[in-house]
Every structure is written in structure tokens, then in C-alpha cells.
Structure 1
Amino acid sequence: MSIFNETVSRRKSQSFKWDQMEKIYNIPDASDILPMWVADMDFAAPKEVIEAIEKRLQHPVFGYSYVCDGCKDAIVQWFERRYNWTIDLQSILFHHGVVPAIASIIETFTAPGDKVAISTPVYPPFFNIPTAQGRVVEACDLVEKNGSYVFDFAALEETFKRGVRMYILCNPHNPAGVVWSREDLEQLVSLCIQYEVYLLSDEIHADIIFDNKKYVPILTVKDAEKAKIISCIAPTKTFNLAGIQAAMMVVPNSKLLAQLELNAQAHGQMALNAFASAAVQAAYSHGEAWLDKLISYLSINMAYVLKELNALEGISVTQPDGTYLLWIDYRQTGLSENDIMERLLTKGKLALEPGTKYGQAGEGFLRMNVACSLATVQEGVSRFKQALA
């Protein structure tokens, strides 16, 4: 666990998380604020990934490159080994990230004015990207139940009846950390088939799962082959490689695949860069032991935060099924979002994310990232308490 106990200084490293807080939170100086907001780990990548990039750097020519079969095989073997999901090599399309992939998918299969449905609270690009592309976002709130969330399928069906063209799924769910069951996913797929709705599934958080929960790839559920599904996967959240910019779209339907390839051509979208390809192959080939240790470490961090924050008056936190994110319920404090954010930033010197960033259904919540050393987590909890004191 020593590799995760180490606190790596990231200030002045062009870190979005650490060096952009003045801009994000509209404050003059964030040098004394602890960032526990954006979904970016403070852990060093697995040494095998670093070594693979260093090896590629030893060759001094950085011309055009392609994704080798070894990289593709590593991806396929990872999902086969861990999730019993057999991915056809020919169904994989590479992109520079899951968010850009989402933008490409929306642009390919919907038109301006089309309706795109989402289940809120949810990751902001799910509503920001369709809106920016001139689509109409139909938000159907998830139902909070015992500190977690469930689908309201009756409400979702009513939403689909209004002529929805595409639905965007987050599995595991960000920000609430729900790992959707096979039964939930089958019901969702059934609705998408019935109402001829495209299903875009963001599965970037799939590898970080706790307490014997099981991530179910959307493309493995009953009748998935009958639906119009595009699944987005990536090693970037798993191994902290967001700056490497690599993601994959898995598209078994050959007609959908051809349309996405045409969209890529229209935008001059190329394959992964040489360093991303090396990192992806190394991560999926050699990162399993590192990941298992990471999950154990994150479990310790989460247990600590839950114990400490649930002892505070008006605060409630539920253990998530997956992700390294905590969804903190502060509604019983009586504080408004502006009040608690002001307290956190000015009194606690702690940067968390306000719940309404994830839609109006997130009002009364905060998102905290605990993917950092236990010492940093302890400092963050101390600052949280100071903010509310």
C-alpha cells in the first residue's frame, strides 16, 4: 500500500485539478485550498505504464502511428477475463476520450432539435454536450432510496413516449456510485428497443467496484443485440491516465459502426497517439495487481470518511457500489448550496463539487473525490468539519 500512501505534489504541473481552482471557483487565490473535486486521482500510474511510455520515448521519431494488434488484444483480454465480455476486435473504435466519443455519437445519430434523455443527477457533459449541439435534453430524475438511487422506469417510459431519439446511461453511475443490476439494464434495453431509442452507455468507471458488487457491461445483457447500443470504455479513470487521452467505443452493430467511422472521417479523427497506445496496452496487460490494491486502499479511505462525516449533525453519506466518488447529503443542515460552498472554500479551505452541477436533482448534495492518500483524506475531513463548525 506504500505506493498509495505517498502524497505526490501536483501543484504547478499543469494539473487541472490543482492549478485551475481560481478559474473554476472564481476566487483570487486557491494556494491554500485542498482540491477534492474533479474525478482525477492523485496516485501515480502503474510503473508498467510509465515504463511503456519511457520505452516508446527511447525511439526518437514520433511520426504517424497506429494502434497495434497487441494493444487491441490487451483490451479484449481484460474485459473477457474480468467481466466475461467477449469484444469483437472489429467492433472497437478509438477516440481521444469518453467525452469526445459521446459528442461524436450524439452528432452521428441525432439531429438538431432531437430529444436526448438522461437520468439525473448525472455527469454534466450528458446535458452540456447535447445542448451545445442543439439537441433538447429530457431529464428524468432517478429516485433516491436509502441513500442510493433507482430508476423510475414508468417515468422513463413516459419520457421515451415523447419522441426521444437517444438515451445516455452512466454505468457505474456518476456521481452516486450506483452499479446497475442486470435486471435494471435489461429493462432499460427493452424500453430502448420498444421505442427505437439509441442507447449510449458511458462505462468509464467500470473497473472500480466495491463489496462484491458486479459491473455488468450493457452489451452482455438479454436482447442487447436487438438494440442500437454504443458502449464507451476506457482505462483512464481506472489507472489515472486522463491526460493521456484514450478511449474506445464498442459498436457490434455494423451499420452503427459504419456511421461512426464516417463521422470520424468527416472530422479527421485519427487513432490514438503513440504514447496513448503504449499506455493502454501496458495498463490492460499488467495493471491488474495495481488495480486490486487500489480498490482495497480506496475502501479504507471511504470507510474513514463515512465514519467521520456520518457522525456530523445533518450530514449523511452512503457507501457507493463503485467509483472513488462520495455523494454527500447535507440537506438536514438547513444550509443552501451557496452557503455550504462558501463555508467550504473560505472557512474550510476545501474544494468539493456542488450537487446542482449534476442537474437540479443534485441540490442538497456535494461530491467528494477520495482517490488520494489517506493523509490527504484525513486532512479533507478535518477541513470539512472546520467548514461546518
Structure 2
Amino acid sequence: MNWNDCIERTNTHSVKWSYPQEDVIPMCIADMDFQVSPAIVEALQKKAAHGIYGYTTFSDRYFDSIIGWWDKQYDIKIQKEWISFSPGIIPGINVLLSVLTEPGDAVILQDPVYYPFYSTIEAHGCTVLKNTLLYENGRYEMDFDDLEEKARSSKAKVLILCSPHNPVGRVWTKEELERVASIAKEHDLWIISDEMHGDLVFEGHRHLPFIQADPSVRDRIIVCSAPSKTFNIAGLQTSILMIPNKELQLHYQEKLTSFGLMRPNVFGIEGTIAAYEEGTPWLEELRMVLEDNKQYVLNYIKEYMPELQVIQPEATHLIWIDCQKLGMSGEELCTFFLEKARVKFDEGFKFGETGSSFIRMNIACPKERIDMALRRMNEALLEHRIGKQS
């Protein structure tokens, strides 16, 4: 596998590479500029060669591949009956909220957090209760006192947990998850745990699936997962919801069917099976590449761009960068990097008000592209420094 190959993605219907301005390096959108595992390519080619792409259902092999993956990666015995389908995590959460909430209810978020959560909650007529993460000395922690207060609200019905957290990159510890579980149990909250980045954890850390953290609240937990972030196959639109609660599982399936979302993509099934059965060698290489890229970014910014502070990521292929010392925020910050450096980042303010002085950088690309983006950023900041002095 050539991880240094800068594959051309323009004119391929890529969201990430469809930016209208030329000569812009997109370091945004959480997909990778790496080719997928050869095992996945082979599986999709075989299916394509078959020549019939009709309505698709789920096979025992599909379920076994998921069960086997969770057993191998996390030593968890997933039951087949827990596994539900969704074309994506956000569609799945939408369906869940339609079952778990009524207009006027409240859903707790730990901001700054993955921005589609906000609009998803509001679309169901619910209120967002912000349990803002504590940010101190370049690290984020949960504010448990505030979480307890928010959970005490009679309107609070659901907590959406991002684990590992996007964008701040925290891998929550067993103690942290147990405390969240205790608060949820005391106040009768449902927990939707988005664990999309659980397989992309850096050395020295280990992701703990929420259903493993505290079995006593298992019936109030829904785990959202997928091979899409891990294996770069988001376009195959196949995600997985683990729902141990039998009654909720039934209601979810009924609602999914009523929305016409019950049938998977024919290639998504094949991609999922290939990823979970044969993708481990590719993933092990990817983790080493991301570790190397992460360290390169950390070192470069520390040496050449002291105005920026990188939040040390424990997981994900994304880096959260504190730009407060530039004296810019919101649109101004991202416009600066776009116009002066010709680099496109995910805007921090989209993740919540507390992210307004941040940018999110995607490091899942060849190092040559990262180096080019960092050099452009450095040149733009050099001009910025000179401009402030004159």
C-alpha cells in the first residue's frame, strides 16, 4: 500500500474536493485521501462484475463479520439481535430521536461537538442543553457538576455522547464513562453513544465501548458505529446501531421501515464484510501513518507557528487547533487561512460557540500534502506578524 500517493480526487463527486476555488488544499471533511484496503476493492469489483444490483438484505455473514470485529477489537460478545442498520449515523440518530423524544424535550450535548448533532436535535423540536467541556492547559475534560445539573432537568431525555470525541480527540476513560452512566441512571436518561472513531485511537490509549463500561445501564444505551471512518467507505452508506433494549430495538425498526430506510446499499454490505473480515492489516498500517502524520503536525506547528496550540489528539484522524492568539474568530479565522494560505479547514464555530477560535484539520492524507498545507499556513502567519508590526 502506497500511503504517499497523492491520488487525484477532483471531478470524482468528492465533497471534500469540490471546493470551487482552484489551488485550495482541503484539510477538512472527515474522510481520507488514502485508497481503501485492497480486500474491499476486490470485494466491490467482484460484486460489480456480477452485474445485478437489486434489492439487498442482510446475511448471516454480514452479522458475523460485525460480531467478530467487536470480539476481536474490544473483547465484547455482541448479540445479533442488538444489531440494526442505518444508512449513516446522523440518519440513525434522527430515527432514534423520533422514538425517544417529543417536541419540547431536551437533548444534552458536550460542546464543542460534531455540528450535525445540533440541527438534528432542533429538527425534532427539541432543545439543545449544552454540557460544555472544560478546557484548560490544552486539554478537555467533562464538567460532571454541570452534567448533573442538566440531567436533573425534567425536559432532558437523551444525552448524545461523542466517544472518542470529535473534534477535541479525547478518548474517555473507564472512570469517566462510569460517572456518565451513573448520572444517566439516576436521572433516567437515554445515552446515544457515537463511537464512529473508536477504531482510530493513538498509541497509549484504548477506546472503551459504552456498553462495556457499565452493564447496569446497557438497556438505556445505543451505540452508533460503522466501518466508514475506520476504512474510508462513508460513500457506501452502511452504519450500525447496537440497541440492547428489545423494546427500543423494535420501535427503531418500525420507524426505520416507515421512513423507507430499511434496505442497505448492495455495495455497502460487501464493503462492510470485507472490511471487518480482511481489513485489519490495512488498518494497522493506517494507524502508523496517522501517528506519524500527527507527530509531524505537532512538531511543525510548535517550531514554526507558536501562535497556534494543537490539542493533543488521543484518537480520530482530525486535529483541533487553538488559534486564540491570532485575535481572530469565527468566519474571520477560516477566511484568513483560505484567502492567505489557500487551505480549507472545518470552521471551529460550527462545533459550538466555544469552538469559534479553533479550526479542525484532517491529517488523513499523504505527508506531502500536509507539508504543503503547513508551509502555506506558516507563510500566511509570517505575513500576518509583519503586518501587525508595521
Give the structure-1-normalised TM-score: 0.95
The one of 136, 148, 151 equivalent to 1:160 is 151
Deviates more, 1:352-361 or 1:275-284: 352-361
Aligned residue runs from structure 1 range 60-75, under 5 A: 60-75=51-66
The one of 157, 167, 171 equivalent to 1:179 is 171
Aligned residue runs from structure 1 range 266-345, under 5 A: 266-311=258-303, 312-345=305-338
Task: Identify the residue that residue 221 of structure 2 maps to in structure 1.
Answer: 229
Code of the aligned partner of 1:96: P
* Structure 1 contact 192–227 (Cα < 8 Å) conserved: no
Task: Identify the residue that residue 14 of structure 1 maps to in structure 2.
Answer: 13
Cα distance in 2, alignment partners of residues 329 and 65 from structure 1: 45
Q: Report the Cα offset of residue 247 of structure 1.
A: 0.3
Aligned residue runs from structure 1 range 1-389, under 5 A: 2-19=1-18, 21-22=19-20, 30-163=21-154, 164-225=156-217, 227-311=219-303, 312-389=305-382
Task: Identify the residue that residue 27 of structure 1 maps to in structure 2.
Answer: none
Cα distance in 1, alignment partners of residues 218 and 211 from structure 2: 10
Q: Report the Cα offset of residue 227 of structure 1.
A: 4.5
SS of corresponding position for 2:192 = strand
Q: Report the Cα offset of residue 313 of structure 1.
A: 2.8
Code of the aligned partner of 1:354: E
Cα distance in 2, alignment partners of residues 49 and 368 from structure 1: 27
Q: Report the Cα offset of residue 226 of structure 1.
A: 5.1
Cα distance in 2, alignment partners of residues 3 and 176 from structure 1: 29
* Structure 2 contact 3–289 (Cα < 8 Å) conserved: yes
* Structure 2 contact 333–357 (Cα < 8 Å) conserved: no
Q: Structure 1 residues 62 and 223 mapped into 2: Cα distance closer, same or farther (>3 Å)?
A: closer
Give the structure-2-normalised TM-score: 0.95
Q: Report the Cα offset of residue 222 of structure 1.
A: 2.0
Q: Report the Cα offset of residue 224 of structure 1.
A: 4.2
Q: Report the Cα offset of residue 141 of structure 1.
A: 0.5
* Structure 1 contact 4–43 (Cα < 8 Å) conserved: yes
Cα distance in 2, alignment partners of residues 112 and 375 from structure 1: 49
Code of the aligned partner of 1:263: K
* Structure 2 contact 55–263 (Cα < 8 Å) conserved: no
Cα distance in 1, alignment partners of residues 332 and 302 from structure 2: 20
* Count of residue pairs brought into register by the alignment: 380
C-alpha distance after superposition, 1:27-73 (max 9, x if no partner): xxx11111001101000111100110111112222222211111111
Q: State the superposition RMSD in angstroms.
A: 1.2
* Structure 2 contact 174–213 (Cα < 8 Å) conserved: yes
Cα distance in 2, alignment partners of residues 220 and 145 from structure 1: 29
Q: Report the Cα offset of residue 277 of structure 1.
A: 0.3
Cα distance in 1, alignment partners of residues 158 and 93 from structure 2: 11
Cα distance in 2, alignment partners of residues 306 and 269 from structure 1: 42
SS of corresponding position for 1:85 = coil
C-alpha distance after superposition, 1:233-267 (max 9, x if no partner): 10000010011101010011111111111111221
* Structure 1 contact 306–318 (Cα < 8 Å) conserved: no
Cα distance in 1, alignment partners of residues 54 and 327 from structure 2: 58
Q: Report the Cα offset of residue 338 of structure 1.
A: 3.4
Cα distance in 2, alignment partners of residues 339 and 253 from structure 1: 46
Cα distance in 1, alignment partners of residues 351 and 139 from structure 2: 15
C-alpha distance after superposition, 1:256-293 (max 9, x if no partner): 11111111122122232211000000000000010010
Q: Structure 1 residues 339 and 273 mapped into 2: Cα distance closer, same or farther (>3 Å)?
A: closer
* Structure 2 contact 184–190 (Cα < 8 Å) conserved: yes
C-alpha distance after superposition, 1:137-167 (max 9, x if no partner): 1111000133121111110110111120111
SS of corresponding position for 2:50 = coil
Cα distance in 2, alignment partners of residues 280 and 125 from structure 1: 24
Percent sequence identity over aligned pairs:
34
* Structure 1 contact 114–136 (Cα < 8 Å) conserved: yes
Code of the aligned partner of 1:338: E
Cα distance in 2, alignment partners of residues 198 and 367 from structure 1: 29
Code of the aligned partner of 2:194: D
